Amino acid sequence: MKKMKKSVLLIVVLVYLFNVRSTAQDADPKLVKLMEKSMTIEKFLALPDDEFWKYSKAVLYQGQGFDDGHGMFVWPPALKTFPKRVGLLSFMVFDPGFFEVSSKRYGGPDISYKVTTYKGASLTLENTVAMTDYFYNETLPELKENFKSFGSELLTPDEFLNSDAARQAYNTFAYEEKGLGKLLSKEGSYQTLATPAGQKIYYAENLTTPGFLDAIGTKATEIGLDAVIILKIQLGIDEKGTISIQSMNYGMYGKNPVPKDPGKKYVAINPATGYHDNVVYSAKKLGALDLDAMLKTEEGMNVVVSVENKNSKIYKFDGVGKLINKLVLGSNYELNMWITGGWKPFKYK
């Protein structure tokens, strides 16, 4: 705990010093102009809601639940109330360490192929850890109030790991992705991934695949919680050293509120359409909405938090906690409206 506090203090001091420096005589006019032209946290939060949410994808609406309980997504009316005891499993800050350099298409109108070149660049692990601690401490107080407003209690691992059984369940998460997701979820020389001290990594590139759901959904029951959530913030850094927030993911998972009917045949075309004992309660993503887009610097939120050159640096972290909480608040609000019957965007079948 003392080590975490020192890291938080260090980055707070650094942010303060660099902000002061950037507004004083040492600020490089080119950097000041670049920051003024960039999308910042402050500008992103100031967007009208219809513009702000254009960057988002509410996954629950892409794969709505069914009243007989089949599928990966919850049937919200069956929940009756918003989950009461919710555990924050993992708050992750992640840098995949890739961005697109060039992309060309070859061939004629009938047959063509695309060649894309990627270049690696990443934050240092030390910087990622410091940013994780800072983001987390800026987010957590308001996040707890966020859940409280829905009659819920948000608990952190140091609060819900109150028995040997709970600690054993929390520390035995195992999940392995395939393909490019596997590459990005494995720590390597071109990527960094960090959580606050004491938290375990519950990472997946896609937080709503059947395999990930099966691996994580049981944790709520095993730990003694009504639901569990994951927050993932993806950063990117380009060859000039500009750091931006590219995307933010939120997911809530728990036990399927619709019991499996032993007399019913759940015909599964694929794993996503069968019956699952645990389901996605809600999920939302801000920024790049798929893996290919995620690897392109022109995609995603591209909310700039740091610019630098040989002469100076400018940091703009103010409001990051409010930004993360707006994502969660929107997702919690939508789920609650489904539960209470106040909003039904689809005709259920």
- For 38, list phi and psi in degrees, rounded to 5: -80, 160
| Cβ count near 9 (within 10 Å) | 12
Q: In whole angstroms, what is the distance from residue 239 CA to residue 127 CA?
A: 16
SS3 label, residue 189: coil
Q: What is the pTM of this model?
A: 0.82
pLDDT digits (tens, 9 = 90+) for 314-335: 888 999 999 999 999 999 998 9
Largest CA distance in the chain: 75
Domain boundaries, the chain: 2-340
| Cβ count near 61 (within 10 Å) | 15
pLDDT digits (tens, 9 = 90+) for 10-33: 445 444 434 433 443 467 888 888
Residue 281 confidence (pLDDT): 92
Q: Which of 315, 299, 328 is nearest to 232 (CA)?
A: 328
Residue 147 confidence (pLDDT): 97
| Structure-token match 């699952």, residue found | 276
Q: Contact 179/188 with Cβ under 8 angstroms?
A: no
Residue 341 confidence (pLDDT): 82
Q: In whole angstroms, what is the distance from residue 338 CA to residue 81 CA?
A: 10
Provide the b/e sequence for 162-200 (b: ≥16 CB within 10 Å).
eeeebeebbeebeeebeeebeebbeeeebbbbbbbbebe
Residue 120 confidence (pLDDT): 54
**Regions of the chain with pLDDT less than 70:** 1-26, 57-64, 97-122, 178-191, 288-300, 343-349
